[in-house]
């Protein structure tokens, strides 16, 4: 793995960057992509936007929580197994502290007023961030009306029926393999 | 207590191992496991899920953290012992990822230029764009459940639009939008 790792990035800075991402990761794994784009691509320039998107897609194919898988894939790319551990521990560090504090307080009081207010206020921002990110991603991933319609159709089906996403992913892998086989038979290997 | 830690480790390791494809797949796995073992009632689970969704961090991991603490506390553990059990639950749900990422990520880095991999990812990318859009739509519908024009709705819509513009223009960090939302939450909501 070390052959394709950056060596200039310190394990500590990987941990700090992913701790920052974990601290503002609100609304589930899919909210992670805009945060990675901001911290890893735009600010640190540790990876390209395409690499991040590919790792995020690959994360869905591997067992485990998507945000953790993505963090580990990026960390792994930067510093091998140590980068992997630093990134994943970074992502869970702040949430663990918050949940731990909340769990201890849970028996005494059943509310957490200030934190709840902050979280209520942040939710519309996360919603806007994710919709805009979906738009940015589809602009990059597809060309033309049909591609955009494909993205919108996927989104509509997921919103309306909430099917297991792994079925889509397995279908996409199968379709890619069939597409490749057809292309190879026609003679255009790449 | 040692036996409890062992069972918690196995339980959450299994949950991490069989979670595939994201979304809230992991949540239903945790729910089944907790109810089957009699560790939590359904009402307690829904309570914990609400908190896990509101707190920053991956929802699956947050749920594991909270459930680990609660289960240990209900069995009579003290605060620090329960926190230790909660740490075990957190780490064991992430452990399967280490193996998957080490081998899967290595394979991907070696083979990403192969035509078949490029074609699979050419289809996966728009698919994931659809997933992200869907998550955004779902959250938007939760934040704005019905059309209304009160102060609160207008302020939320402003925070929503500003953050979306930050991401669309890519000039500034979306964190400013999240910070604005936090300030608005404290001052107005």
**Model pLDDT for residues B97-111, shown as the tens digit of each residue:** 988 898 888 889 899
pLDDT at A1 over 60: no
Q: Measured between alpha carbons, how far is B59 from A95 in angstroms, rounded to an integer?
A: 10
Q: Left, alpha or beta for B38 (phi > 0: left; psi -120 to 50: alpha)? A: left
State the average pLDDT over residues B25-36: 82
Chain A interface includes B12 (CB < 8 A)? no
The Cα of B99 is separated from the nearest Cα of chain A by a number of Å equal to: 9
Task: Please check whether residue B120 lies inside any domain of the structure.
Answer: no
- Residues, chain B: 189
Q: Is A187 found in the same domain as A135?
A: no
Chain A interface includes B40 (CB < 8 A)? no
Domain holding B188, by residue range, is: 144-189
Q: Is the ipTM of this complex over 0.90?
A: no
State the average pLDDT over residues A48-75: 90
Q: Which residues of chain A have a CB within 8 Å of the CB of B120? A: 172-173, 176-177, 180
Task: Please check whether residue B135 lies inside any domain of the structure.
Answer: no
Task: Please check whether residue B139 lies inside any domain of the structure.
Answer: no
Q: Measured between alpha carbons, how far is B128 from B124 in angstroms, rounded to an integer?
A: 6
State the average pLDDT over residues B51-72: 87
**How many domains, chain B?**
2
Residues A108, B73: contact at Cβ < 8 Å? Answer: no
Q: Is B158 found in the same domain as B83?
A: no
Model pLDDT for residues B117-170, shown as the tens digit of each residue: 989 988 988 998 898 898 889 889 988 888 878 888 899 999 999 999 998 998
Question: pLDDT band at residue A61, thresholds of 50, 70 and 90?
Answer: confident
Task: Please check whether residue B131 lies inside any domain of the structure.
Answer: no
Residues 49-88 of B with CB under 8 A from A: 51-62, 65-66, 69-70, 73, 79, 82-83, 86-87
Chain B interface includes A26 (CB < 8 A)? yes
Q: Is A176 found in the same domain as A115?
A: no
Q: Is B81 found in the same domain as B168?
A: no
Name the pTM for this structure. Answer: 0.84
Q: Measured between alpha carbons, how far is A86 from A76 in angstroms, rounded to an integer?
A: 9
Comparing B45 with B184, the larger pLDDT belongs to B184
Inspect the interface and report whether the beta carbons of A173 and B124 lie closer than 8 Å.
Answer: yes
pLDDT at B173 over 90: no
Q: Which helix (H) or strand (E) holds A112?
A: none
Q: What is the DSSP string of A41-88?
A: IIIS--S-HHHHHHHHHHHHHSSS-HHHHHHHHHHHHHHHHHHHHHHH
**How many domains, chain A?**
2
Inspect the interface and report whether the beta carbons of B163 and A124 lie closer than 8 Å.
Answer: yes
Q: Is B155 found in the same domain as B105?
A: no
Residues B28, A66: contact at Cβ < 8 Å? Answer: no
Q: Is B17 found in the same domain as B75?
A: yes
Task: Please check whether residue B122 lies inside any domain of the structure.
Answer: no
pLDDT at A16 over 90: yes
Model pLDDT for residues A115-148, shown as the tens digit of each residue: 777 878 888 998 998 899 889 888 888 888 888 9
- What is the rounded average pLDDT for all residues in chain B? 87
Q: What angle do CA A44, A42, A15 make, to 5 degrees?
A: 35
Q: Which helix (H) or strand (E) holds B161?
A: helix B151-169
Residue A17: both structure tokens together = 């960057």
């Amino acid at each position: 793995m070390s052959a394709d790792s950056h060596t200039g990035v310190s394990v500590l800075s990987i941990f700090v960057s992913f701790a920052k991402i974990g601290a503002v990761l609100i609304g589930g794994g899919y909210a992670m992509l805009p945060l990675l784009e901001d911290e890893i691509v735009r600010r640190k320039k540790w990876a390209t936007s395409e690499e991040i998107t590919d790792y995020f897609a690959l994360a869905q194919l591997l067992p485990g929580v998507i945000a953790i898988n993505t963090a580990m894939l990026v960390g792994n790319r930067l510093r091998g197994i140590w980068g992997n551990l630093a990134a994943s521990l970074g992502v869970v560090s702040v949430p663990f502290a918050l949940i731990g504090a909340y769990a201890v307080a849970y028996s005494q009081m059943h509310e957490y007023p200030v934190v709840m207010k902050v979280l209520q206020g942040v939710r519309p921002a996360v919603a806007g961030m994710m919709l805009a990110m979906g738009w940015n991603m589809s602009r990059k991933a597809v060309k033309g009306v049909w591609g955009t319609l494909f993205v919108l159709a996927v989104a509509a089906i997921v919103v309306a029926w909430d099917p297991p996403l792994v079925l889509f992913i397995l279908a996409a892998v199968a379709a890619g393999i069939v597409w490749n086989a057809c292309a190879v038979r026609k003679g255009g290997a790449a | 207590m040692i036996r409890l830690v062992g069972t918690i480790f196995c339980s959450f390791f299994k949950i991490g191992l069989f979670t595939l494809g994201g979304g809230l797949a992991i949540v239903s796995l945790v729910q089944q496991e907790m109810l089957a073992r009699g560790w939590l009632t359904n009402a307690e689970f829904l309570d914990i899920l609400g908190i896990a969704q509101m707190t920053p961090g991956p929802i699956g991991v947050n749920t594991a953290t909270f459930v680990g603490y609660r289960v240990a506390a209900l069995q009579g553990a003290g605060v620090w012992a329960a926190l230790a059990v909660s740490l075990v639950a957190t780490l064991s749900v992430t452990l399967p990822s280490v193996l998957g990422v080490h081998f899967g990520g290595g394979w991907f880095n070696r083979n990403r230029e192969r035509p078949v991999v490029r074609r699979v990812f050419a289809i996966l990318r728009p698919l994931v764009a659809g997933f992200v859009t869907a998550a955004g739509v779902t959250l938007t519908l939760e934040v704005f459940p019905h059309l209304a024009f009160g102060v609160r709705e207008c302020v939320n819509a402003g925070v929503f639009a500003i953050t979306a513009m930050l991401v669309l223009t890519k000039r500034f960090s979306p964190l400013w939008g999240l910070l604005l939302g936090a300030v608005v939450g404290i001052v107005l909501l």
